[in-house]
Amino acid sequence: MIIHLILNTNFHIHSLSLSLSLSLYLSIYLSIYLSVYLSIYLFMLYIVFSLSLSLSLSLSLSLSLSLFLDMSHQFIFQIGFYLSIYLSIYQTMYLSLYHSQVVRIYLSIYLSISQSMLSVFIYLSIYLSIYLSISHSQAVRIYLSIYLSIYQRR
């Protein structure tokens, strides 16, 4: 009975981490597509919003993904975090290359929006993951240690 319960819990955690990794890649792809689409057809403010949303979503999903992995697999979180920052900064500089005067205003608006949205998405992902994994005490400890290490780096 106990072995069946342990195997069932491990299968649930692995399937949830697989679905979270797929949703991470999907959200990065969709946010890049959305920001490029909005940059072609709409105003600059929508680009700022979509890029900050892509950064926040990919960070939030990589945090949620790292909840279901042990401490030796934290490099997935770091790769997702640095990749999302790199992609959003690259898109920002690429899309505003021909607007040399707008670059400073654009980057300041982008940084302020992304800072506020990052904090909102981090708190939202922490709340949801603790709510979803209230029965997995080891996962909660891993997630809280990751969150505290991120919070101490600020």
pLDDT at 7 over 50: no
pLDDT in tens, 38-51: 555 555 555 555 56
Domain hosting residue 104, numbered range:
2-153
Q: Which residues contact 16 (CB under 8 A, 6 or more apart)?
A: 68
Q: Smallest Cα–Cα separation from 118: which of 79, 73, 81?
A: 81
Q: What angle do CA 35, 18, 134 make, to 5 degrees?
A: 100
Which pLDDT score, from 0 to 100, does residue 69 have?
A: 54
Provide the pLDDT confidence category of residue 79 given band limits of 50, 70 and 90: low
Task: Report DSSP letters for the chain, one per residue.
Answer: -HHHHHHHHHHHHHHHHHHHHHHHHHHHHHHHHHHHHHHHHS-HHHHHHHHHHHHHHHHHHHHHHHHTS-GGGTHHHHHHHHHHHHHHHHHHHHHTTT-TTHHHHHHHHHHHHHHHHHHHHHHHHHHHHHHHTTT-HHHHHHHHHHHHHHHHH-
What's the predicted TM-score (pTM) here? 0.27
For residue range 90-128, list pLDDT tens digits in order.
Answer: 665 565 555 555 555 555 556 555 555 555 555 666 565
Q: Please, are residues 124 and 41 in contact by the beta-carbon 8 Å criterion?
A: no
Q: Tens digits of per-residue pLDDT, 25-37?
A: 666 666 666 655 5
Tell me the CA distances in angstroms from 99 to 37, 90, 105, 114, one per residue in order. 18, 15, 10, 21
Number of structural domains (the chain) is: 1
Q: Is there a contact between 109 and 48 (Cβ–Cβ < 8 Å)?
A: yes
> pLDDT confidence of 62, banded at 50, 70, 90?
low
